[in-house]
Amino acid sequence: MKLKIFIGLIVITLSSITIFSQTTTQLPVSSRTRVIQTSPSPTASPSPTPIRKIVSNNLPSATPLPRPTATPYNSPVNSSIYPAATPTPQPTFYKPLSFSQIKGKIAEAKRQMTARPVSTALTDSFLSTEIIRLAFYDYEAAHLDYIVMTKTSFLTRNGEILTTTSNAKPVTVRILRPNGVNTPVMIIDQQNRAHLPLLVQYPIERNGAFVETAYYISTHAGVVTPEVVTAGKFYVRNTIDVARENLRKKGIFISPEVTDTAERLSIVEHVDHQRFWNENQPNIYNEIYALFALNEGQTYRYSVSSAGAGGMVQMIPATYYMIRSRYYNVGLIPDFVEGMRNHANATQAMLLYMQMTWNDLTLNETINNALESGIATPAELMSAGYNSNPTKLAGYIRRGGANWKTLIPRETKIYLQIYASMNKYVPVLPRTK
């Protein structure tokens, strides 16, 4: 009996599934009709006759989802802890002193420094050559004051040294461009007022041993004034003219063109190539003239290039000894270092070498053809010959023609560009005789 009941339930269940599997649901009517053929799913029973049905799409149009509004992000970090960097305000400058006043202050500072010297290796082995002293004019107090610091601090690039002067005045010494004795600085007080740096007392050493004490004025902020620059131009021109006159008295003629070029080259020789490309060029020339005005015969006394060239005219030892031997009757100073430090002696050697080089160049047919055709000028040839080997110039012109300057050494190319820049910004009155 139970078995019959169980079999009956199974039959009823299977019948229900078959019925539901063949039931189709009518889709809603579409707004745009389409006709399709549909086939029912295959089952065990015979397939019914295909039914023609109308299928439509009357679903409501899609509603766009709302786009969330971006809200500003509030950093959990307290911004007041990290305030925005503010630029350092430029110090206030006082009215500059006249050239005569600056020279008077420099002379007074040197007298006081020599009367009260700073210890050096001669008196204190601990100090060695590490201590320098800087004199400056205190505009507020209207007198000289002094700062003592280590040479390491003095030569720190972009350094700012907080210190106290000899008169107990708190100041900041800002290092502008470290360069040995020729290091320009700014001296700023607590009210952000700039005072006038003047003279540095700088121990010169060689192989770690004290040699001499230098007293030098760099191009500090406040000393490069138009009056000082004009005085420097007069010093350079007068030094060249005196040397030329001394040679004339000894029977040696230096042409006006050579003399004019030599006057230019005495400035070109001291232009830093990196600064030439990155800074205001007229300002660089003004600074060099200011050095000559303020240091006069001591200018570039301690300047020696990587090639061993030194002094005002930056001549190398081999060239100097060759000129001294060839023009023995001139009586140039035998020692190279002292000969270069002496401006009167050094400019005579420069004029002799440039005139000799020019005379040799004009004997060359290639050089003369270049001058006649205008592909080279006397100033270019003399300048290139002074900076590099003049005997190679004719070869450069033969191979390069009008483009001969592309073949000369890279340093000489820059040298000629500086010379051309000086012609543009620093006019010089040509000599006529």
Instruction: Give the H or E element holding residue 264.
Output: helix 256-268
Residues 175 and 312 in one domain: no
> What mean pLDDT comes out for the span 209-215?
89
The answer to whether position 130 is within a domain reads yes
d(CA 403, CA 401): 5
d(CA 365, CA 360): 11
The last residue of one of the domains, among 194, 223, 252, is 223
Closest of 243, 408, 390 to residue 319, by C-alpha: 390
Q: Which pairing describes strands 209-216 and 52-55: parallel, antiparallel, or unpaired?
A: unpaired
Residues 241 and 363 in one domain: yes
Could you give the angle at the alpha carbon of 278 between the alpha carbons of 274 and 280, nearest 5°? 115
Banded model confidence at residue 20, pLDDT cuts 50, 70, 90: very low
Return the percentage of the chain with pLDDT > 90, whole number: 69
Banded model confidence at residue 92, pLDDT cuts 50, 70, 90: confident
DSSP-assigned beta bridge partners for residue 145:
136
Could you give the angle at the alpha carbon of 21 between the alpha carbons of 17 and 26, nearest 5°? 140
CATH of the domain at 329: 1.10.530.10
Residues 351 and 236 in one domain: yes
Rounded to 10 degrees, what is the CA torsion of 300, 131, 205, 296?
20
Residue 189 near residue 199 (C-beta atoms within 8 A): no
The answer to whether position 278 is within a domain reads yes
Residues 266 and 216 in one domain: no
Range among 36-40, 270-274, 305-309 with highest mean pLDDT value:
270-274
Query: Does 308 have pLDDT greater than 60?
Result: yes
Residue 362 near residue 375 (C-beta atoms within 8 A): no
The last residue of one of the domains, among 223, 242, 261, is 223
**Predicted confidence (pLDDT) per residue in 274-299, tens digit:** 999 999 999 999 999 999 999 999 99
Of 21-25, 349-353, 371-375, minimum mean pLDDT range: 21-25
Residues 196 and 237 in one domain: no
Residues 118 and 264 in one domain: no
Residues 335 and 213 in one domain: no
Q: What is the pLDDT of residue 2?
A: 52
Q: What is the pLDDT of residue 32?
A: 46
Query: Does 70 have pLDDT greater than 60?
Result: no
Q: What is the pLDDT of residue 6?
A: 60
The answer to whether position 81 is within a domain reads no
- Structural domain boundaries, residue 99: 92-223
d(CA 26, CA 190): 93
The answer to whether position 53 is within a domain reads no
The answer to whether position 204 is within a domain reads yes
How many structural domains are present in the chain? 2
Residues 158 and 306 in one domain: no
Residue 68 near residue 197 (C-beta atoms within 8 A): no
**Predicted confidence (pLDDT) per residue in 94-153, tens digit:** 889 999 999 999 999 999 999 987 654 444 444 468 899 999 999 999 999 999 999 999
The last residue of one of the domains, among 195, 223, 251, is 223
**What stretches of 272-377 show up as alpha helix (H) in DSSP?**
273-278, 281-295, 317-326, 336-341, 343-362, 365-373
Residues 217 and 241 in one domain: no
The answer to whether position 49 is within a domain reads no
Residues 219 and 274 in one domain: no
Residue 231 near residue 102 (C-beta atoms within 8 A): no
> What mean pLDDT comes out for the span 164-178?
96
Residues 378 and 253 in one domain: yes
Helices (H) and strands (E) in the chain, counts: 14, 10
Q: What is the pLDDT of residue 427?
A: 87
Closest of 189, 214, 223, 221 to residue 133, by C-alpha: 214
Residues 410 and 297 in one domain: yes
> What mean pLDDT comes out for the span 175-188?
95
DSSP-assigned beta bridge partners for residue 93:
194
